[in-house]
Amino acid sequence: MTDISPASDQPAEIVVEETEQTPAKRPANGTAIWALVLVILSYLAPIAIVIVGLVVANNYGAEQGNVGGYVIGGAIAIIIAAIVAIGLDFFGLILGVVALFRKNRGKVLAIVAIVLGLIPLAVSIGIFGVFGSAIGGFGQ
């Protein structure tokens, strides 16, 4: 038979090691990431739209033999690009504000998206203001 008895009559010593506790990382804020992606697209999409619009207008103007088609096509491309920039930027800003007020989530990307989102919005509104005042729609 086996005798079950402690190997020693002395109590076991409990050793507690002190370790540095790192603060818990906040989970990624997916809403802020999407806001930043939309704001970056609001920078890139108008550039692509204007380039494609100018190429199409140039080809059309060369076929027709007039320069007026090129100028009008370029102006239309710029207006469409500004509308796309405002749309993407508006949704990016909304998502940035929503991400800013989410609890227990990172806020840095939301702030970056909001700051970067205000620039194309102001430029796009300025473009519409210039075209509007040139046509005579504003300020009367």
Question: Does residue 89 have a pLDDT over 70?
Answer: yes
Residues in contact with 84: Cβ distance below 8 Å, sequence separation at least 6, in sequence order: 42, 45, 46, 49
Higher pLDDT among residues 103 and 70, named by residue: 103
Question: Does residue 4 have a pLDDT over 70?
Answer: no
Q: What is the pLDDT of residue 83?
A: 84
Higher pLDDT among residues 103 and 135, named by residue: 103
Q: What is the pLDDT of residue 38?
A: 92
Q: What is the pLDDT of residues 41-77, one digit of tens each?
A: 988 988 888 888 878 777 766 666 666 667 777 778 8
Instruction: Name the average pLDDT for the chain.
Output: 78
Q: What is the pLDDT of residue 52?
A: 84
Q: What is the pLDDT of residue 11?
A: 64
Q: What is the pLDDT of residue 39?
A: 92
Rounded Cα–Cα distance for residues 77 and 73 (Å): 6
Instruction: Let me know if 108 is exposed, middle or buried by CB neighbors in 10 A (0-12, 13-18, 19+).
Output: exposed
Q: What is the pLDDT of residue 91?
A: 93
Domain boundaries, the chain: 30-133
